[in-house]
Amino acid sequence: MLIGTFEINKESKVFIIAELSANHNGSIDTAIETIRAAKRAGADCIKLQTYTADTITIDCDKEDFLIKGTIWEGKNLYKLYQEAYTPWEWHQEIFKVAEEEGLICFSSPFDKTAVDFLETLNVPAYKIASFEITDIPLIEYVASKGKPIILSTGIAEEADIELALDACRRMGNTDIALLKCTSSYPAPIEEANMCMVKDLAERYNVISGLSDHTMGATVPVVATCFGAKIIEKHFILDRSIGGPDASFSMNEKEFTAMVKAVREAESAIGKVDYTLTEKQAKGKDFSRSLYVVEDMKAGDVITEKNVRSIRPGFGLHPKYLNSILGKKIEKDIEKGERFLLDIIGQ
């Protein structure tokens, strides 16, 4: 999977996305400074959400349209999205600043008009948000553009994932990634279920990763250890500026620490390799080997009292101890000398 200049595969480093979402708090200047801060924090990408209140819902106060059981309790969907959306007239400037900063930039569209608009900006990829994974016509339309498509699985059961993947492949698009996501805001760490990252990759033969709403860096690090190749976190300049997503977004200091932790985790994972580095091989000097631990004369019998397996590791391998016990040596040898096979008489 190639997103911009970033190649994502099983051997690549983790692609780290800073999600802007509503964290501009209605100010394009804040949006631009957030992009620059994301670059400083070590992100590879800044991601937007492209919708208006009218493209994502309708203005209605019926019970179905009131939010329950979340941090947005009691809000009308339309009013929430009016507050949270990123004005479309900002997009071109945001993409320009991202490019200047060396960040890849793309977006999550929420209807076909958003896809058409993003196509005019030549986006390098598309993200399908968790709550849109059941919108098969939207997924088909996005997939038809032939660009990499990343799907969050926050509300998805197996059947939902399979329908979404089938929709992509039906449109001839196999450039797909699936992100494990817990659609709670913020998400409890005990519900992260990071073993799913590995299962998604193996079960569906795709790149897998994490769209994270937990607090802190623990879950992204664990995801990395389970093979995540994409990690997405909401990013904000300062939670004190407020906004719909502020409470579960990372500030620059926190995001920087997360990136550092993920990169260290990548280094720690390494590869399957039973050969030793030069430094590790040098460590064998401190391993066990056979040494003479009492002065011995030619003709003395080897016992566990006069030859022992001790540190350091310059003598004969300890595996020979049982085979030499009871044999005689053919020359004098002092305590502290390495025991070698040529000491034994024939």
- Give per-residue pLDDT as tens, 110-168: 999 999 999 999 999 999 999 999 999 999 999 999 999 999 998 899 999 999 999 99
pLDDT at 346 over 70: no
Domain holding 300, by residue range, is 278-343
> Nearest to residue 52, comparing CAs of 15, 14, 90, 101?
90
Distance CA 341, CA 344 (A): 6
The whole-number pLDDT of residue 121 equals 97
Residues 304, 258: one domain? no
The whole-number pLDDT of residue 213 equals 87
Q: Does any domain span residue 6?
A: no
What are 17-59's pLDDT values in tens digits? 999 989 998 999 999 999 999 999 999 999 999 999 999 999 9
Residues 224, 295: one domain? no
Residues 282, 225: one domain? no
Residues 293, 251: one domain? no
Residues 52, 176: one domain? yes
Residues 337, 206: one domain? no
Q: Does any domain span residue 3?
A: no
Percentage of the residues of the chain whose pLDDT score is greater than 70: 99
Q: Which residue has the tokens 């040494």?
A: 291
Domain final position from 228, 248, 269: 269
What are 78-115's pLDDT values in tens digits? 988 888 899 999 999 999 999 999 999 999 999 999 99
Number of domains in the chain: 2
Write down the pTM of the prediction. Answer: 0.86
What is each CA distance from 309 to 179, 282, 315, 318, 333, in whole angstroms? 53, 19, 9, 6, 16
Percentage of the residues of the chain whose pLDDT score is greater than 90: 76
Distance CA 13, CA 263 (A): 8
Residues 149, 184: one domain? yes
Residues 126, 59: one domain? yes
Domain final position from 239, 269, 299: 269
CATH number reported for the structural domain that contains residue 299 in this entry: 3.90.1210.10
Distance CA 195, CA 102 (A): 32
Q: What is the DSSP annotation of 293-315? A: -S-B-TTPBP-TTTEEEESSSSS
Residues 69, 128: one domain? yes
Q: Does any domain span residue 5?
A: no
Q: Please, what's the largest Cα pairwise distance for the chain?
A: 102
